[in-house]
Amino acid sequence: MLGIGKENDLPTIFLIDDDIVSREVIATVLTLHGHAVHTADNGKAALEMLASGAVSPEVVLVDAQLPGLSGIALLEQLRQLGSATIFLISGSRPADELVAAADGFLMKPFGPEDLQRLLAKPTSKSPVRIEDADEPVVNRETLAQFRQIMNPATIREIYVTLVTDLKKRLIALENAIATGNKDEVRRLGHAIKGGCGMAGARQIARLGEFLESKSDQLDNCANALQELYAATGKLERMLEKEFPA
């Protein structure tokens, strides 16, 4: 570790950069400015340091082009291991989907004042809440209408099909978000919105609508995906309670 940042109440920095010159220059400049700085030269080593508790940063600066584990896959794992603000750094503009997956971007060369300006901006790290915890997973009126015109076995078959389809789309969405495929996120969100809306699963339909309309915000889509997993689980539990096999 380098630096004396804690004396000045500045955030602790974890710098992940494979270029030794960039790494040493950035670390030195930030340390002289008052930040405590930890460094790693690749994604795998960085994750090991975080998992072991060797570092507990408030801000992660990660180079956009690292050897081995890199890009959105690395950002997702970094988020799983802490609540730090994550900024991409690079000498050129990364792909839009990669920038969207981070909390901000700094073009090299940058100085402490550039970092401070970025830290002063609000980020979208908080999970997007679309689901209403008090709302039934399936609209009661829709369910009542189904009960009037169909027998329980037929209704069960509809929701079994819906759950099976959702589980396939969840996997596809996870892959699309991880690879930055915004068009596929939009397509899958549209399909979820339509099918679940017809079946009265309004919570899930709203999540689908969010994914369709915000497919360019991959970090928020990743949060919505976690809500979608939870809502699908609620739908499956409702199915077993209301229409047991």
How high is the pLDDT of residue 173? Answer: 94
User: Who's near 113: CB < 8 A, 6+ residues apart?
Assistant: none
Written as one letter, the residue type at 20 is I
How high is the pLDDT of residue 168? Answer: 94
Alpha helices per DSSP H over 5-95 = 20-33, 43-52, 71-80
* SS3 label, residue 132: coil
Distance CA 173, CA 188 (A): 7
Q: In the chain, how many H helices and how many E strands?
A: 10, 6
What are the residue ranges spanned by the domains of the chain?
2-120, 140-242
Q: Give the DSSP H or E segment for 113.
A: helix 112-120
User: pTM here?
Assistant: 0.51
Distance CA 61, CA 106 (A): 9
How high is the pLDDT of residue 44? Answer: 95
Strand order from edge to edge, sheet including 104-107: 2-3, 36-40, 13-16, 59-63, 85-90, 104-107
DSSP state of 34: T
pLDDT tens track of the chain, all 245 residues? 444 444 457 899 999 999 888 888 899 889 888 899 999 999 999 999 999 999 999 999 999 989 998 899 999 999 888 889 999 998 888 887 788 888 889 988 888 888 888 887 655 444 444 555 567 888 888 889 889 988 999 999 989 999 999 999 999 999 999 999 999 999 999 999 888 888 888 889 889 999 998 888 888 888 888 889 888 988 999 888 888 88
Written as one letter, the residue type at 10 is L
Q: Which fold has domain 140-242?
A: Four Helix Bundle (Hemerythrin (Met), subunit A) (1.20.120)
Distance CA 234, CA 21 (A): 51
Taking a C-beta distance cutoff of 8 angstroms, is the pair 12, 57 a contact? yes
Domain 2-120 has CATH 3.40.1360.10: no
How high is the pLDDT of residue 122? Answer: 54
